[in-house]
Amino acid sequence: VTDRDIVVVGFTDAELVDIACVTSAFDLANMLGAEPGYRVRLATVGGAEVVCASGLTLQAQTSLEVIRRADTLVVSGGRGHPKAARDPALVQQVRRLADASGRVASVCTGAMVLAAAGLLDGRRATTHWFYAEELARCFPAVQVDADPVYIRDGRLATSGGVTASLDLTLAFIEEDHGAEFARRVAMGMVTYLHRPGNQAQMSIFTATPRPDDLTLRELIDYVVAHPDDDLSVGALAARTSISPRQLTRLFSERLGTSPGATVRRIRLELAARLIAATDLPLSQVASRSGFGSAESLRQAFVARYGLSPLRYRQSHHSTVAAR
DNA sequence: ATAGGCCCCCGCCAGC
DNA sequence: ACGCTGGCGGGGGCCT
């Protein structure tokens, strides 16, 4: 049985952690006996070394030009993405390899390179939340959604920030070797990185900032305190002295989102906490956090975090036990 | 799984 | 004139 070829594409000022999350997860899969295993290589234009944004330097194992195909092609992100997306040699090599390869993925702002190669036209894609607007502006043909941890659209996949690349890589491993095996890799990664469990990873990216506008702040505080209330736009507006229309405008201007999306996010954050910290049945978690049913909670949870509530609970409990 | 329905979101316009 | 506001409607997404 031949190993699966994983090619990670690097460039000047790439993000070291983007690269390392992908390579380490595949490497750990090998350590745990993945069969077939993974042959992971870092490739650059001309085989040049990768001077990462942090100043550390990675030696590329091969040059993109000599690779015929990959089972999985992963373009890393990082501060150098604007230059990378404008590098004709890099973009051309990525396009060529993408056509010849199986799965094609990006981490973080690596989506810019995929988009520059035209690979994301007409597809749904995500990137680091901070750059979502830029991606949408520079590449109007791409349907950008900054919310999910990662998005898979056919054989193309894009992921958000650092932890998202781990989730995406785990999804690949699950596809190749099954859910149980992927869970073991996930547990190993979490332990290895000494992170305080999945909950913190998620809330880092989803925590709602407290707005400086007094009306909005009081409203958000109310939502957090009463997630199971009627929190429709009309009901929220009735708690203030402004109209529903004006309220949606206020959310849009001050928070860059809408009332409904904010309510859903806060409800999901609470649900994630309840799932991780308690043994409440999902139906009760759902009703306490304002979801109509366990099923709708499940769907929303998977859409945002990329794993099911029960699996999340499992991995969290395992992590706690391991420490 | 799929369909229907409800509600959200946002562009548009008319009033203040 | 000009900006802020609230109502309306359609298109779409999410829930049942």
Compute the CA torsion angle A277, A189, A152, A51 (nearest 10 deg). 130
Q: Give the pLDDT confidence score for residue A73 in this predicted structure.
A: 98
B7 C1' to A70 CA distance, Å: 45
Cα–Cα distances (Å) from A218 to A126, A213, A224, A248, A257, in that order, read 31, 9, 10, 15, 17
pLDDT band at A207 (very low <50, low <70, confident <90, very high): low
pLDDT level of residue A194 (50, 70, 90 thresholds): very low
Q: Using the CA of A243, give the nucleotide whose C1' is nearest.
A: C6
Q: A232 beta carbon < 7 A from strand C?
A: no
| Nucleotide C15: closest residue by CA–C1' | A296
CB atoms within 10 A of CB A123: 17
Say if residue A164's pLDDT is above 90.
Answer: no
Check if residue A293 sits with its Cβ under 7 angstroms from strand C: yes
pTM of the model: 0.60
Which bases of chain C are contacted by protein, using any atom under 7 A from a CB?
5-8, 14-16
Average pLDDT, chain A: 86
Of the two residues A149 and A159, the one the predictor is more confident about is A159
pLDDT at residue A185 in the model: 86
Q: Is the pLDDT reported for residue A303 higher than 90?
A: no
Which is more confidently placed, A43 or A166?
A43
Mean pLDDT to the nearest integer, A218-241: 91
Other residues' Cβ atoms within 10 Å of the Cβ of residue A93? 21
Can you give the pLDDT at residue A210? 61
User: Does the pLDDT of residue A85 top 90, yes or no?
Assistant: yes
Percentage of residues in chain A having pLDDT higher than 70: 89
CB A297 within 8 A of CB A271: yes
pLDDT of residue A195 exceeding 50: no
H helical segments located in A140-289 = 162-177, 179-193, 198-206, 214-225, 233-238, 244-255, 259-277, 282-288
* Residues of A identified as active-site: 108
Q: What pLDDT score does A193 carry? A: 40
Torsion sign (Cα): A88, A134, A55, A97: negative
Residue A190: pLDDT band (50, 70, 90) is low
Q: How far, in Å, is the CA of A300 from the C1' of nucleotide C9?
A: 28
Closest-CA residue to A323 (of A202, A196, A183): A196
Chain B: bases < 7 Å from a protein Cβ: 7-12
CA A252 / C1′ B9 distance in Å: 10
**End-to-end CA, chain A:** 37
pLDDT of residue A295: 93
